[in-house]
Structure 1
Amino acid sequence: MGLINLQFVAEVNRNARALFRIEEVENGDVYVKLRSGPFVGIGDDAQRVKQERYSVHYGTTSPTYSTLKCRTDLEDGTQHISVALTDAIKRQNGFSLLFMYRANNLASSYFDLGKTKMKVIRTGAFNPEANTLVLGVFVGHPALTFDVPSGQVLIESVVTKHFKLVVVWHYRHCAASPFSRKYETMTTAPADSLDEAALRRMAGESVETCLQWFEALSTELLVDLLLTYRHFAAGYPDVIAEIDEGLATLERSIVRLDSQFFRDPTISSN
């Protein structure tokens, strides 16, 4: 089997919109090159993005842990790097979240696919004036299965030498905005002094738990989107009332996750 090199795309108005690329390299490590938006931040604080990627490193120094890494390079030379550890791969005990992502309206030319010789995997067509795409990527050992009840979410599994990457997505019934948002896993480097909570953050999770995380984080991302719309609806009481009704409904169903598992979300813009 050759090295994996493929592109995930959505379809908007019959146009392919590039979401992210999965690339396997010679040593078996995998890079997920995300396009969340051409800028990080909004307004005067926005910085143009040069590169935004996640990587999964099997590693040879630890018999237990593999490394999950997020790196964002900005055009001004600034780098943002975060690292997480997981035992899910080498212990074959489940899956770990690599990142969760709420797409923006994909209107910018930044998402143009262009000509490509890569295999293309399509997440389907949607109307960003009515719906918002939310997706997550989980990683585990290639021998493990990630079975999902029919109709709950959409999934696509990508198997490489060392890993199984599972892309999970669905569409929320709310118009997409020009702003995307994402979460990624946060852990601590392993050491003898780690407490139980720190070790728990590094453990693989069952498929059921991964799906619970996906649904909960998806709902949090939707709440954030509605709060953004509420901010811009100042002076329109009817619109605010409708948004508040939606927020109240979501608050009754939301499952709060332990914030120590995730880095603070970052926002990108068109």
Structure 2
Amino acid sequence: MAKPLRWTEVRVFAPRGWQELVASSMAVGPCTTVSVGNTSVGQEDPPEGFEALRTFVPADQDTPELREQLQDSLASLARRAGAPELEALPIRFHELPPADYATSWKKSWKPFRIRDLVVIPPWFEGHVRPSDCVLELQPGGAFGSGRHATTRTCLKVLQERMRGSERVLDAGSGSGILSVSAALLGADSVLGFDIDDTGPTYGFQLARDNEVEELCAFRQGGFEVLTQHDGPFGVVLANIYSDVIQAEAKNIRTRMDPAGWFAFSGCPLHHVEATRVAIMEAGLCIEEERRLGRWMTFVGGVA
């Protein structure tokens, strides 16, 4: 009989509002799936205002190098986000008894709704409304599930403003959830890009899983991957760091259809003023500012 595989549980208590970004930063090396909002039996609960994030790694891959990678990844997030509350988050390692802990997170992953868009895992066997737009998402991996405040706001705006037949640009497409949602909501075509080299793989897979792969294209890189033939875009989504929005606002303006609209998310409250100024100086008009938690989303069009 084969010897049972042993697992190490890796836990981080993340401040509420930061769960998805912290979870993405935990997805390094063999840590491919991150569970949000639950803890193991016998383990301490997170303090008030925090959520427990867990990932699992085979015990023989729990190395000093992996632990250093995890620490470096979380430290990089804190620096990039300019968030003191993310500095020096402790990482807890706990060896678990033999069991299939690598898939046990499925028991706690529940479908969720954002207006008429319902995000479900592949194993979901429940019922949805006939009018719902259903997006099937394989949880885990290096990118988000759509639960983060910035993504939720973009998904709400998409449902309110999409009319069908638009050409959509998704800057910082990550898992492809915004791109695929736009396709499901009637976009004529969607182009997404992300600086992470695994981004296109996740995006293509999500598009295939939802049968919209013919409408979606994904590229690896930043704004430099756009060519003179790309655009004009009727919709521009940018769920990315606010410093990138500030730097690329003029570039985005040149890519937009004069009658198009944008949703720029990922802006922490302490960067709102600088981001607002950059957007307006680029020749764009802000029609709405939507705050959810510690994040602001700018919605508008060409001035």
Taking structure 1 as the reference length, what is the TM-score of the superposition? 0.27
Normalised to the residue count of structure 2, the TM-score between the two structures is 0.25
Higher strand content, 1 or 2: 1
Larger Rg: 2
